[in-house]
Amino acid sequence: MCIYSWLNSLSLTNPGIVTPIVAGTTYEGRQIRGVKISYKSNNPGVFIEAGMHAREWIGPATATYILNELLTSNDPNIRYIAQNFDWYIVPSANPDGYEYTHTTNRLWRKTRSGGPVCHGVDPNRNFGFHWMEGGASSNSCLETHAGQSAFSEVETRSMAWYIWSISRKIQVYIAFHSYSQLLLIPYGIDSERVSNYQQLLRIGHKMAASLARRYGTRYTVGNIVDILYVVSGSSVDWVKGSIGVPFTYTYELRDQGRYGFLLPANHIIPTGQETLDSIVTLLHETRLSPGEPTLCKVSNMFHVGIHACEWIGPATVLYILNELLTSNNTEIRDIAENFDWYIDRLWRKTRSEYNATCYGVDPNRNWDFHWGEVGTSPDPCNRMYAGPGPLSEVEIRGLSQYITSVAERLDVYISLHSYGQLLMFPYGFTEDPVDNYDTLSNIAEKAANSLTSVHGTVYKSGPIISTVYPASGSSLDWVKGVLNVTFTFAFELRDNGTYGDLLPANLIIPSGEETLASVITILQQARDL
């Protein structure tokens, strides 16, 4: 097989990094071969299996594309996952069948073991976990024939033994199949959820979003039974149910049926690229590696409570502050330890007196950048009174002086308000786009998606003027326009108006959790640019 010749060459050209592995044997006497990639000891393991069903050629092609990228790519995200995980990649788990599709029957699916009437067993129905409980057949002539017993096939029996032998290393197991554009979570025997289903689903949606970003290819994510059909005796169910590998996914790769198993060759590289994008996201989300990449430290500032009635702002930032100090979550520890944080709990409205009957100035209309132009009022009794002049309020003068003093260190500025469920960026005084509009828009959209993934809360993202209303003299516009801080965002937190500024206390922690998820995304994106 050409794949095997290429695998042999990799160990010769990458000594000390690529090691040949034999993951099993076959009915016709072939070896089930693959490679291990390891740049350093004590890495967590990722196992990729492809070609279990012989006719699904895009699986082996995708596995070999990813293997090549892990060894040759200069992309820093790919270099990181290559060097901080050990990779066990088996491009053709059914080499007898794969060879048969090249010589005799292009659409052959099963192994090539002999039978009384018909040849072959479906290897993805032959693993010893809930074998023959559904979605499988005892009829040897059917494509889903599960064999005479669990592990009756030498391919599944020997491969299971190999996986078991390295099971303490394996934290991620990925199986490539085709077609349908699905990302499947165990189990296939029924709709019962695995213990970490919500985690797998949350990560799966992020993987699908990453996959779609390059070419617009859309994947559906969910439990095998719910979005495909009943399957018993599959490799991923056995890996999850018998070994307990935490992160297990099956890809049903391109396409959705136009070409089916006969996917044209010009789809191979795009499929490999987008699939690798999603695996980068998977490993970033799981953060299994004990080591972190060497990164520049970015400074981040939170500014909250400038509108005193918006209690959820201070509550949310205090929740985030506590998490930064106490959480054991790997992503939170990452942003806590690799960013400098400046958190200001400006909790009260101004109380200055400019009128005999009305007190105070809207502090978020009092900053010295396009002050008093739109979305403000000259009336001291109006809630958007901008003051008699820019920086008239001692609070804003003091805060602006402090922010200016640390401006050279600031890369990210975040302002929390409520309510409206909006994620905004400058400007509020004009419809002219900010200089890095596309970057901010892209990050805001990703951050909003991350926020939604936690509790389903939907945020709208966009520039202030078109997302909420015109507003001049705001802190966000001043920080961007005067100090030129690169990444500037304002949140209008929960809710959409049912409770408004009187948000119940039981929504504080959910609001904090989802906001923190979006902040993680903002900082990850900022760090990568």
- State the average pLDDT over residues 189-213: 93
pLDDT reading at 1 higher than 60: yes
d(CA 94, CA 24): 10
The pLDDT mean for the chain works out to 89
- DSSP codes joined into one string, 340-367: EEEEEE--S----BSSSS-B---GGG-S
Told to judge if 492 belongs to the known catalytic residues of this protein, a careful annotator would answer yes
Task: Report, as an integer, the average pLDDT of 503-514.
Answer: 88
Backbone angles phi, psi at 462, to 5 degrees: 160, 180
pLDDT (0 to 100) of residue 348: 42
At 310, is the pLDDT very low, low, confident or very high (cuts 50, 70, 90)? low
Confidence check: pLDDT of 305 > 60: no
Across 274-298, average pLDDT: 67
Is 90 exceeded by the pLDDT of residue 384? no
Strands (E), 305-456: 339-345, 410-418, 422-425
Contact 343, 299 (CB under 8 A): no
274 catalytic per annotation: no
Question: Would the pLDDT of 150 be above 90?
Answer: yes
Per-residue model confidence as pLDDT tens digits over 188-197: 998 889 989 9
Q: What's the DSSP call for residue 92?
A: -
24-31 mean pLDDT: 95
Confidence of residue 339 (pLDDT cuts 50, 70, 90): confident
On the question of pLDDT at 313 being above 70, the answer is no
Whether the pLDDT of residue 301 is over 80: the answer is no
For residue 65, what are its two tokens? 């594309």
Confidence of residue 224 (pLDDT cuts 50, 70, 90): very high
User: 69, 285, 310, 492: which one is catalytic?
Assistant: 492
Q: Looking at per-residue confidence, does 195 or 350 come out higher?
A: 195
pLDDT (mean) for 307-334: 76
Angle made by CA atoms 350, 518, 76, in degrees to the nearest 5: 130
- Give domain 2-286's CATH number out of 3.40.50.150, 3.40.630.10, 3.40.1180.10, 3.40.50.880: 3.40.630.10
| Topology agreement, domain 2-286 and domain 298-528 | yes
Query: Does the pLDDT at position 330 exceed 80?
Result: yes
Please report the pLDDT score of residue 388 as a whole number: 87
pLDDT at position 317: 67
What is the average per-residue pLDDT within 345-366?
70
Q: Name the pLDDT band for 528 (thresholds 50, 70, 90).
A: confident
pTM above 0.75, yes or no: no
**CA 382, CA 376: separation in Å to the nearest integer?**
9
Residues 6+ apart with CB under 8 A from 407: 483, 485
Residue of 70 and 311 predicted with greater confidence:
70
Given 69, 99, 155, 252, the catalytic residue: 252
The predicted model gives 201-216 an average pLDDT of 96
Parse the chain into domains and list their residue ranges.
2-286, 298-528
Q: What is the pLDDT of residues 465-508, one digit of tens each?
A: 999 889 999 999 999 999 999 999 999 999 888 877 677 878 88
Residue 237 CA, chain-centre distance (Å), reads: 23
Would you say residue 61 has pLDDT above 60?
yes
Residue closest to 525 by CA, chosen among 430, 461, 469: 461
- Residue 302's pLDDT band, with cuts at 50, 70 and 90, is low
Element at 463 (helix H, strand E): strand 460-463
- Model confidence at 155: pLDDT above 50: yes
At 68, give phi and psi (nearest 5°): -65, -40
Cβ pair 18, 33 in contact under 8 A: no
Q: Which residue has the higher pLDDT, 125 or 314?
A: 125
The CATH homologous superfamily to which domain 298-528 belongs is Zn peptidases (3.40.630.10)
Q: If pLDDT is split at 50, 70 and 90, which confidence band does 344 have?
A: low
Q: What is the pLDDT of residue 293?
A: 28
Yes or no: say if 493 and 511 are a contact pair by the CB < 8 Å rule: yes
Tokens of 342: 């400046």
- Residue 393's nearest CA partner among 427, 344, 353 is 353
